[in-house]
Amino acid sequence: MMITLKWIGALCVAAGMALPNAVHAVSARASVSGFGIQLIDLSPTDGIAPAMRMDGVAIGAYISVFGPDGPETAQVADYGAVQRDYPFGSAFSSAAPDAFRSEITLDVRGFYTSAHSNHFVLEFELTPYTAAVFNADLAISTNGEYGYASYAEAFMGAHIYGAGNLGGSISTGNPGGDESSSDAIRFEVRTGSQPTKGGFNVGTYVYANAVPVPEPGTWAMLVAGLGIVGTAIRRQRRRR
């Protein structure tokens, strides 16, 4: 009986280790649409035209992939789009004056991909008696299975010197499941008799990791096998 238990346990462990992890597609998408900044003259008779000066501007779309040949990156450092198709999936990212989008899909295990796009302004200066109205529609979605991870985020926000942060973002909270959400972000920056300074960032970020952990059935087979082997060893020691 002891020999039989050992053999049964060993077979369960081996079967658990040999069970293939199912290959599931995992994807993530994020978008910003309808982005715009409207300037309103709060004092039309003061002779100052509404304006927003921007310094330290960075615009672009980026892809980062860890595949069979090691890490690879692709980007466009301006308005435009970058896309890559691989045997294990695809990645896309784009930046336009009023829209940003990032999408990735992985359907073969063992790979990691991320993508993002954004319009970043290190510092802006808004003329006196001016209102700047920021608008954007945000949307995100992820699709995945047990043992895979995906994440999506869309954002638009500003930091006003001396006043704090404005804006918002949406992001997925379940790294291994299906999820989607959307939101409309709107905020306003107003100046008085003096110019107002700040910075802002709008864009998207997504990633997917198709390096699976064992499925529940695989874990159950492994645990059962180890338990049977342990029982057989304990019985053998008692008989000695």
pLDDT tens for the chain, residues 1 to 240: 444 544 444 444 344 434 444 446 788 999 999 999 999 999 999 999 999 999 999 999 999 988 777 788 999 999 999 999 988 889 999 999 999 999 998 887 767 889 999 999 999 999 999 999 999 999 999 987 656 778 999 999 999 998 899 999 999 887 667 899 999 999 999 999 999 999 999 999 998 887 655 545 444 444 444 454 445 444 554 555
Tokens of 11: 């077979």
Q: Provide the pLDDT for residue 106.
A: 85
Tell whether pTM > 0.75: yes
> Which pLDDT value is given to residue 10?
45
pLDDT value of residue 58: 96
Residue 131 backbone zone (phi > 0: left; psi -120 to 50: alpha; other: beta): beta
Q: Closest Cα partner for 183 from 34, 60, 81?
A: 34
Amino acid identity for residue 63 in this structure? I
What count of other Cβ atoms lies within 10 Å of the Cβ of residue 6?
Answer: 17
- Cβ 111 vs Cβ 119: under 8 Å: no
Provide the pLDDT for residue 77.
Answer: 93
pLDDT score of 137: 98
